[in-house]
Every structure is written in C-alpha cells, then in structure tokens.
Amino acid sequence: MVAKLSTTISKIQSLPNSSNSMTLSEFLFYMKNNGSSERHQNNNLIVMIEFSNYFGSNPSFYDINKKEQILSFLETKIKDSSKDPEKKWITSWNHYLVRIKLFYRWLYNKDKEKIKTDSTYSELYQLLKKEQVLL
C-alpha cells in the first residue's frame, strides 16, 4: 500500500541531512505550484527520501555528482534471478531512475533560475552569457 502524501511529507523533516530535507521541501513546493498530482508528488518524494537515506548524513544532493554514486543506489533494486526469474526488478529500477533524473533536472535548473532572476546577480549572468557566446 502506498503511503499518503501527508505521511511522506512528515518523513522529509526526519532525513539525516538537513540540507537534503530543505531541498526536498523546495522540490515539493515546485511540484505543487506546477499542478502536479498528489500521487506524482508522493512518488517523487518517496524515491528521493529513500535516495537520501541511502547516502546518510554526509553527502547532500549537491555533492552527489557522479554516475557511479547514483548507480550504487540503483544496484540495490536489482534482485537475484532466483528470487525474480521474470526480471520484474527492471521496472522498479527504471522507476527510480526516472524519478532521480527528474529531481536532478529540477535541481540543476532551479539554480540557473536563481541566477537569472536575482537582481544582484543579473550583471554576472549577462557577463557569463557573453563569455559563452565568445567561446
């Protein structure tokens, strides 16, 4: 049985990494503002809470930047062929991968939007934009 969204939200505050709990709260706010269904919000949060718990209190989501780190988590979803002869674990593995990719795309673009919209960094953004054109 799938947990209710309210139950999942209450688990955000109990994450071992406070930075991750703040980031997930922002992610939830983003999903609510974009009109995501409660089920979609819940599914994304469940995966990201489990992902954060896997790494414990040390690395924040920002510190997880290598493919091997994400694959180490996804490998926990692989089941032995004697336990899962039809290889249904692949569906779960893909589900987790899609949710993690969605989260990291949001995280990457969220930081870009802060630079674009923050008036104190607008000049820096324009300068960086010009340098990219020159490169």
**pLDDT range class, residue 2, cuts 50, 70, 90:** confident
From 6-10, 71-75, 114-118, 128-132, the region with the lowest mean pLDDT: 114-118
Which alpha helices (H) appear in 1-135, and where do they start and end?
Answer: 5-12, 18-33, 38-55, 67-74, 89-117, 122-134
The answer to whether 44 and 99 have CB atoms below 8 angstroms apart is yes
pTM of the model: 0.80
